[in-house]
Structure 1
Amino acid sequence: MTTFKNNDFSDLLKNRRSIRAYDPAVKISKEEMMEMLAEAATAPSSVNMQPWRFVVVESQEGKDKLKPLIRFNTNQNDTSSAMILIFGDLECYSYGKEIYDTAVDLGKMPAEVRDQQLAAILPYYESFSKEKMNDVVKIDSSLLAMQLMLVARAHGYDTNPIGGFEADQLAAAFDLDSERYVPVMILSIGKAAEEGYESIRLSPEKFTDWK
């Protein structure tokens, strides 16, 4: 069972900052990283297809490979414990049977419900255009990414969501099929070496309509 270093949700939410400089001496263990990814993966996804895929870049070799692909975000790469590449899997439905079978095996879903759901969901997903599936996996993977940022803070780490990278080269650079895996964002993660900037937000009156 996880014991968070910080379980104050208000603090996690309101005091999160985008951190661009980390203590390079602090390395997150593979065990804790996997724990955080598992916690983040409790995020919701469309029909529970869980389309997120990760590449955790932590070695010097991996960071050297990533560096020319991340434009003006090199300090995060140089100092972070790791750079988490988040991809969306355009063929995520290929895991549908495994996901739903496991739900049945664990007593979380009746077999007849599984059969009905898969009979409807799999052909529906398979019929999507690449553009439509791209939208689905990016929305779902972004939900996961936000949850991962809060999970990291609960573990005592900080993050920076990065969108400035060479999206057309990222998958192939890390041996993924670029036709199947679409880059969503990169998260730097580590022990903050700066406080980060407090930023303002528009009031909800500015971006909400009531009908």
Structure 2
Amino acid sequence: MKETAKVFDQLIRERRSVRIYDPEAEFDHDAVQRSLERAVLAPNSSNMQLWEFYRIRSEEAKKSVAWMCMNQKAAKTAHELVVIVARRDLWKKRQKALVQEMKRVYPDTQSKQAKRAMNYYQNLIPKYYWSDWFDIWGLIKKGIYFFVGLKRPMVRHGNRTDIKISVHKSAALAAQNFMMSMKAEGYDTCPMEGMDSLRIKRYLKLPSKAEVVMVIGCGPAAEEGIYSDRFRVPNKEVIFEV
């Protein structure tokens, strides 16, 4: 095993969801910024980067958001909270940015690679992300995928719910990057889904189509911060070889 793998293995095994943080311990808030800058390097669907990250730092803001997280100790005692937000509604803005990036990457616009990339971002991405009020287009896409899939492998997700799930998965990948980075910085985290996402969205003044994925508390763990030993079902029940 390489030394880098040994270090990563240690981080993976030491990372725990910490429920109580030490209020007296020092905390480097710059570690949160560095970790968020690593979070955005996470893999994500079509590199659309449909995410946003909100740092909750002031005591007043932390108290408000902690209340919206059902006053969980992981929120109340955190030195800082990070709200992970899915922004499916920003797909047009991201698409335009990626089209410009493809033009930079492929200056020869007539090359096979350039045509493939431009077709993907100019034609296929709008067809995938656009949605009408009743999601009729999503039903049509599902029907097309079904019949095409009778003859060859085909992407099966295409309605509004499918796209929402895809965007949330990408945001979750970024969240994991963030938590592992915080552990590497010497701090602990706790991802929370037990929250009033509507109140948090209003508090952050987010648009109606933005969706709160999770809130992550972070800071130095208190001695009693981990409630129990880690439990995992046996690997043979979840890891398979074909």
Q: TM-score range by the shorter chain?
A: 0.7 to 0.9
Q: 2:32 touches 2:182 (CA, 8 Å); kept in 1?
A: no
Q: Percent identity?
A: 24
Name the structure 1 match of 2:189. Answer: 159
3-state SS of paired residue (1:183): strand
SS in 2 for 1:91: helix
Number of residues of Structure 1 aligned to a counterpart in Structure 2: 201
Tell me the equivalent position of 2:14.
15
Amino acid at match of 1:54: F
| Counterpart check, 1:193 vs 2:222 | yes
Does the alignment pair 1:207 with 2:210?
no
Q: Deviations over 1:135-157 (max 9, x none)?
A: 11111111111121111101111
Partner of 1:3: none
Structure 1: segments with no counterpart, 5+ residues = 1-6
State the shift of 1:159 in Å.
Answer: 0.2
1:101/1:114 contact within 8 Å kept: no
Q: Could you say if the C-alpha distance between residues 198 and 98 of structure 1 is closer, same or farther in structure 2, counting changes exceeding 3 Å?
A: same
Contact 1:87 1:181 in 2 (8 A): yes
Runs of 5+ consecutive residues of structure 2 not aligned to the other structure: 1-5, 132-137, 139-158
Matched to 1:205, the amino acid is K
Q: CA RMSD in A?
A: 2.4
Q: CA deviation at 1:110?
A: 6.6
SS in 2 for 1:14: helix
Aligned to 2:91: 93
Q: CA deviation at 1:208?
A: 4.4
TM (normalized to structure 2)? Answer: 0.74
- Partner of residue 69, structure 2: 70
After TM superposition, give the deviation of residue 103 of structure 1 in Å. Answer: 5.6
The amino acid across from 1:78 in the alignment is K
Deviates more, 1:124-133 or 1:159-168: 124-133
Q: Secondary structure at the match of 1:28?
A: coil
Residue 45 of structure 1 pairs with residue 74 of structure 2? no
Instruction: Specify the code of the residue in structure 2 equivalent to 1:115.
Output: M
